[in-house]
Amino acid sequence: MNTFKIGGVHPHDNKEYSAHKQITAVPLPKQAIIPLVQHIGAPAKPVVEKGQKVLVGQVLAEAGGFVSAPIHSPVSGTVTKIDTALDAQGMKMQCIFIDVEGDEWLPEIDRTDTLNAVCKLEPKEIIAKIQAAGIVGLGGACFPTHVKLMPPPGKTAEVLVVNGVECEPYLTCDHQLMLERGEQIMVGIDLVMKALGIQKAIIGIEKNKPDAIQHMTELANKHLGVSVKPLALKYPQGGEKQLIDACIGRQVPSGALPIEVGAVVDNVATLYAIYEAVQKNKPLISRVMTLTGKSVKKPGNYEVRFGTPLTDVIELAGGVPEDTGKVIGGGPMMGRAMQNLDMPCNKRMSGALFMTKADSVRVEPENCIRCAKCVSACPMGLEPYMLAKLSAAQNWEKMEKLNVMDCIDCGCCLFTCPSHRPLLDYIRLGKGKVGGIIRARQMAAQAKK
């Protein structure tokens, strides 16, 4: 069965806790706290002020640049202030606070469940609606989607690769979205194909989702140029470069983007959001997330309006389990420990995992035994043990030469290390330092022009 060629690991998927749980809508909060940074790129700039009344879908903040995205109100009510709140790691972020008063929507938003499959818009008009709706990649990166759909001069898209893999353990929101809203996702695929002017789309789905493979295949047969490719179980197959390799057998060069090999990659949740934006005039104001864990009373897939405190979702799922040792934002491989459960849900929030005390304890690291398992596991062909050593020595120049910026933070190295070395921790630190050095160098070069 198809998969990517370089590296990868096979963690237990632990999806049985929330798999096939129907999507449940989370009630509206009393107060919504909407962060102005919910995407990669420049922060959005507020266009509302204290005391202003807003409706659901109304623009709260405009994009701060081309690589940015506007923010829309997920609730109706009164703006009480523009101030800072704490994110999942306890860091301050600028937010718009809205006291919720009912649930009144902009009249142009189509709230019916009727499938709207016909689009007479031109490609540029489709992209403009996607941009105006604040659509970003919902697979985790949150890269503004309109940028992907506007290839730079000299680059041409040939195929849309659809990410239905959801390789991260425990998470099941994309799986359930395909089962419940597959038709809308298919229309979203048609829209992106039209926007890019391409005739081919491939949906990659791992074999641990046979019902999704069957359902999406039946739907794909009704859509010209769309097919489903079942994939072997291997993490991190949901990474853009790994998925492209698995689906079309092309290798994206180091430092390059998917468009270099003629591919554009979109997650199924992103495509559903595109359908709603283009066909229903609904901006991105909510998403489906997974709240799960071995001891969670009601693990499941929850649709949450942005700005809703995570504690509201936790309460709906039965509260914090007594044996919780750590809460992870996202999944256990790429997610990060959360310090603040009051943080507002946002476009980045794919899930929350409650790990038991037994599962969350880190084993004391031992000396590296030079087994090279981390090298074999790295899907980017890097040498994690060496990068971690260089990071500890603060040798940022050598780290850059060894392509540390190619690291996708997948955690395969940490997962496979028999000595339990904190490889990913050191590499993340090094990536941050090297990235800062590169940006400073680029700014200095631009200043000289």
pLDDT tens for 335-352 read 999 999 999 999 999 999
Non-local (6+) Cβ contacts of 165 within 8 A are 204, 205, 206, 231, 237, 238, 243
CATH-assigned architecture of domain 28-100: Beta Barrel (2.40)
Nearest to 246 by CA among 8, 419, 52: 8
Mean confidence (pLDDT) of the chain: 96
Q: Do 333 and 168 meet the contact criterion of CB atoms below 8 Å apart?
A: yes
- Please tell me the distance from the alpha carbon of residue 356 to that of residue 364, in angstroms, as a whole number: 18
The yes/no answer on whether domain 15-21+112-280 falls in CATH 3.40.50.11540 is: yes
- Please tell me the distance from the alpha carbon of residue 346 to that of residue 339, in angstroms, as a whole number: 16
Cα angle for residues 157, 159, 160 (degrees, 5° grid) = 105
pLDDT at 199: 96
238-256 residue pLDDT tens: 999 999 999 999 999 998 9
**Residues forming a β-bridge with 344:** 309
The yes/no answer on whether domain 289-360 falls in CATH 3.40.50.300 is: no
pLDDT confidence bin for 448, thresholds 50/70/90: confident
21-40 residue pLDDT tens: 999 999 999 999 999 999 98
pLDDT at 132: 97
pLDDT at 141: 80
DSSP SS3 for 293:
coil
**For the chain, what are the domain ranges?**
15-21+112-280, 28-100, 289-360, 373-448
216-227 residue pLDDT tens: 999 999 999 999
Reply yes or no on whether the pLDDT at 449 is more than 80: no
Q: What is the CA radius of gyration of the chain?
A: 22
- Please tell me the distance from the alpha carbon of residue 237 to that of residue 299, in angstroms, as a whole number: 24
288-336 residue pLDDT tens: 999 999 999 999 999 999 999 999 999 999 999 999 999 999 999 999 9
For the chain, give the percent of residues with pLDDT over 70.
100
98-110 residue pLDDT tens: 999 999 999 999 9
310 CA to centre of own chain:
17
pLDDT confidence bin for 258, thresholds 50/70/90: very high
Q: Can you tell me the mean pLDDT for 65-88?
A: 95
396-443 residue pLDDT tens: 999 999 999 999 999 999 999 999 999 999 999 999 999 999 999 998
pLDDT at 447: 84
pLDDT at 182: 98
Bridge-based pairing state of the strands 24-25 and 300-305: parallel
DSSP SS3 for 400:
helix
- Please tell me the distance from the alpha carbon of residue 327 to that of residue 315, in angstroms, as a whole number: 14
pLDDT at 167: 96
- Please tell me the distance from the alpha carbon of residue 143 to that of residue 129, in angstroms, as a whole number: 16
pLDDT at 445: 85
pLDDT confidence bin for 446, thresholds 50/70/90: confident
Reply yes or no on whether the pLDDT at 140 is more than 90: no
- Please tell me the distance from the alpha carbon of residue 191 to that of residue 115, in angstroms, as a whole number: 14
- Please tell me the distance from the alpha carbon of residue 240 to that of residue 262, in angstroms, as a whole number: 13
Cβ atoms within 10 A of the Cβ of 105, count? 16
- Please tell me the distance from the alpha carbon of residue 105 to that of residue 109, in angstroms, as a whole number: 7
Q: Do 174 and 268 meet the contact criterion of CB atoms below 8 Å apart?
A: yes
E-state strands within 232-376? 263-267, 286-292, 300-305, 324-329, 336-337, 351-356
pLDDT at 190: 98
389-402 residue pLDDT tens: 999 999 999 999 99
In what helix (H) or strand (E) does residue 83 lie, and over which residues does it extend? strand 77-86
pLDDT at 377: 98
